[in-house]
Chains A and B, each alone.
Chain A
Amino acid sequence: MKYELVAGFETHIELSTKTKIFCGCTTQFGGEPNTHCCPVCIGLPGTLPKLNREVVRYAIKAGLAVHGEIAEIAKMDRKNYCYPDLAKAYQISQLYAPLIIGGYVELSNGRKIRLHHIHIEEDAGKLIHKHGDTYVDYNRGGVPLIEIVSEPDIRSIDEAKEYVERLQQVMRYIGVSDCKMQEGSMRCDVNISVRPEGSEKLGTRTEIKNMNSINNIAKAMEYEFERQTDLIESGGKVVQETLRYDDASGTTSSMRSKEDAHDYRYFRDPDLVTINISREEVEEIRASLPELPAEKFKRYTEELGIPEKDAQLLTKYRKISEFFDEACEGVKSAKSVSNFIIGQIFRRTETEADKEQFDVAVKPKQLNELVKLLDSGKIRNNLAKSTLEKMLDSGKGALDFISEADMGGVDDNALLELCKAAVESNPKAVEDFKNGKEKALKALVGNVMKNSRGKADAVAAEAKIKELIG
């Protein structure tokens, strides 16, 4: 029997506000242990939380970016569990009235992964285990998080990967998080079950906790899918449990011991008041959102005629798309701009991190000028390409490398003369062409281009030469 994978995600994303959710300590990553702490975030008796306004705004932004509905009334709850990284023995979170309801993330195959809700909460501190002892650092304790809870709508590992990438992309676009999985600012819990293909009923799920790379998510899901399928095929039953993925062995194992009874006893946090969100504020925040990657993709492919594959590359990071948009202003061929970026500038930004930064020597305005010269027929593609390389090396503008003479163009008479000269001085090539060697024609055109210092129209030259040789 064939089995289908069913998965839902709980994604924790650290918000990049300046300060923690309930106190004024910095949220900066790293820092010496226990130096980003105060009485509030280490939960000293008698301290009280005070909600950071920006956390609410960031969460609303995130909610709008994934088409969620912003609640009019939201409340903070306490989630009680005792663990050394949780200074108050409860996490301030939201259960009964979360900030954002619903929403979805659309994948490239057109499927929409529905979201159940998004809530805000505080992060826990960090535990370091050494020789069986536990060292506790509360720097991360109280850093604001949003938790995005999806419906079990994911049907394959590829969809899972894309879902995470899409979230990463959109959250970075709107600037609410850097979503660095390696630094823990984005972490996923995956709920996974299997069922016979065609079945509507959900199988028993397991939850793989705290995954911090897309690779591991894929590997863990693959392992868990196999494990559950094998289990069912051999007549066994999946047990609902929480699992940890071990990267080294590539396997999952149960996390809970009998010491961790889990009943979180959620109740309204009496130390915090109601969050009332006016529709005006929501609209204000909506208006402040940048054009989102999905919208850009649509515009690039449908209005600018950019191929889908290229549009995906251009929209992957906000800085690239903004570069592209600026370089496109007033040009006839957005496709040329795209080609220059993907063909040449990308060679200078090799890593993903470089692409995300997109800090290149050429400014969008300079590329814009170059493409406009090309548009107007003042220069030819080859010259433009070589000029862009020089611009990338130096940071100078196109006009620093292209002279007035270069921009003269080559009129029909001059072109005829150049072609004649090429035919006369290359009898061997002419002979080869006549004998059916198509390639020989290229050599003749090359000669024309060289002698025109790249200004001649290569296509026109080819036609002329063919005419001359007959």
Chain B
Amino acid sequence: MVTREDVENIALLSKLFVPEEELDGLTKSMQEIIDFADAINNAPADGEGFDNINNLSNVYREDEVVPSYDCKEILCNAPEQAEDHFLVRNRE
């Protein structure tokens, strides 16, 4: 059972605001999707589990320095920046 509280909690975890008036609708729609997902509850798994698609292991980088990017490039997409930092003003 998906409750309003569940939806409020996962919205907070997801950093999304759900307006009060949409909460009931969203709870219902989430319930429908979860009902759909519940199809797997009784599905028989063969118990061997899953690791990764091609069963790859030990893919590494060597510890060699690669030049970093210019600070200007790093910051070029920032909505706001100051003193070579990404800036988050407290309010706007």
Q: Is A bound to B?
A: yes
Closest residue of chain A to B75, judged by CB?
A: A34
Minimum C-beta distance from B39 to chain A (A): 21
CB < 8 Å neighbour of B58 from A23, A84, A276: A276
Asked whether A294 is an interface residue with its Cβ less than 8 Å from the other chain, the reply is no
CB < 8 Å neighbour of B88 from A26, A134, A137: A134
B65, A24: Cβ atoms under 8 Å?
Answer: yes
Residues of A within 8 A of B86 (CB): 34, 84, 135-136, 138
Minimum C-beta distance from A451 to chain B (A): 64
- What 1/0 flags go to A39-67 for Cβ under 8 Å of B? 10010000000111111100000000000
A274, B51: Cβ atoms under 8 Å?
Answer: yes
Closest residue of chain A to B85, judged by CB?
A: A135
Q: How far is the CA of A270 from the CA of B51 in the complex (A)?
A: 9
Given contacts A34-B74, A35-B68, A273-B52, contact A52 B88 (CB under 8 A): no
Closest residue of chain B to A49, judged by CB?
A: B61
Total number of A-B contacts with CB less than 8 angstroms?
Answer: 116
B64, A19: Cβ atoms under 8 Å?
Answer: yes
Residues of B within 8 A of A272 (CB): 59
B55-92 interface (Cβ within 8 A of A): 55-66, 68-71, 74-75, 82-91
B57, A273: Cβ atoms under 8 Å?
Answer: yes
- What 1/0 flags go to A62-82 for Cβ under 8 Å of B? 000000000000000000101
A1-54 interface (Cβ within 8 A of B): 17-19, 22-26, 32-39, 42, 50-54
Closest residue of chain B to A134, judged by CB?
A: B88
Residues of A within 8 A of B91 (CB): 132
Minimum C-beta distance from A44 to chain B (A): 8
A53, B65: Cβ atoms under 8 Å?
Answer: no
Q: How far is the CA of A54 from the CA of B62 in the complex (A)?
A: 7
Count of chain A residues near B, Cβ 8 A:
46
Closest residue of chain A to B14, judged by CB?
A: A82
B60, A274: Cβ atoms under 8 Å?
Answer: no
Asked whether A248 is an interface residue with its Cβ less than 8 Å from the other chain, the reply is no
A53, B52: Cβ atoms under 8 Å?
Answer: no
A84, B88: Cβ atoms under 8 Å?
Answer: yes
B66, A52: Cβ atoms under 8 Å?
Answer: no
Residues of A within 8 A of B74 (CB): 34, 37-38, 42, 138
A51, B12: Cβ atoms under 8 Å?
Answer: no
Interface centre among B55, B58, B64, B82 (most CB of A within 10 A): B58
Asked whether B40 is an interface residue with its Cβ less than 8 Å from the other chain, the reply is no
Q: How far is the CA of A19 from the CA of B9 in the complex (A)?
A: 38
Asked whether A164 is an interface residue with its Cβ less than 8 Å from the other chain, the reply is no
Closest residue of chain A to B77, judged by CB?
A: A44
B1-41 interface (Cβ within 8 A of A): 9, 12-13, 15
Residues of B within 8 A of A36 (CB): 68
Q: How far is the CA of A39 from the CA of B56 in the complex (A)?
A: 25
A133, B89: Cβ atoms under 8 Å?
Answer: yes
Asked whether A275 is an interface residue with its Cβ less than 8 Å from the other chain, the reply is yes
Q: How far is the CA of A441 from the CA of B69 in the complex (A)?
A: 77
Asked whether A263 is an interface residue with its Cβ less than 8 Å from the other chain, the reply is yes
Residues of B within 8 A of A17 (CB): 63
A133, B88: Cβ atoms under 8 Å?
Answer: yes
Asked whether A309 is an interface residue with its Cβ less than 8 Å from the other chain, the reply is no
A37, B62: Cβ atoms under 8 Å?
Answer: no
Residues of B within 8 A of A37 (CB): 68-69, 71, 74
Given contacts A54-B63, A56-B60, A270-B52, contact A132 B90 (CB under 8 A): yes
Interface centre among A34, A50, A259 (most CB of B within 10 A): A34
A35, B82: Cβ atoms under 8 Å?
Answer: no
Asked whether A265 is an interface residue with its Cβ less than 8 Å from the other chain, the reply is yes
A52, B90: Cβ atoms under 8 Å?
Answer: no
Question: Given A26-B68, A37-B71, A133-B88, 11 other A-B contacts at CB below 8 A?
Answer: A24-B61, A34-B85, A52-B62, A53-B63, A54-B63, A134-B90, A137-B85, A138-B86, A261-B13, A263-B13, A275-B58
The list of the 8 closest CB pairs from A to B, nearest first, reads: A24-B66, A53-B60, A135-B85, A54-B63, A132-B90, A273-B56, A136-B86, A274-B57
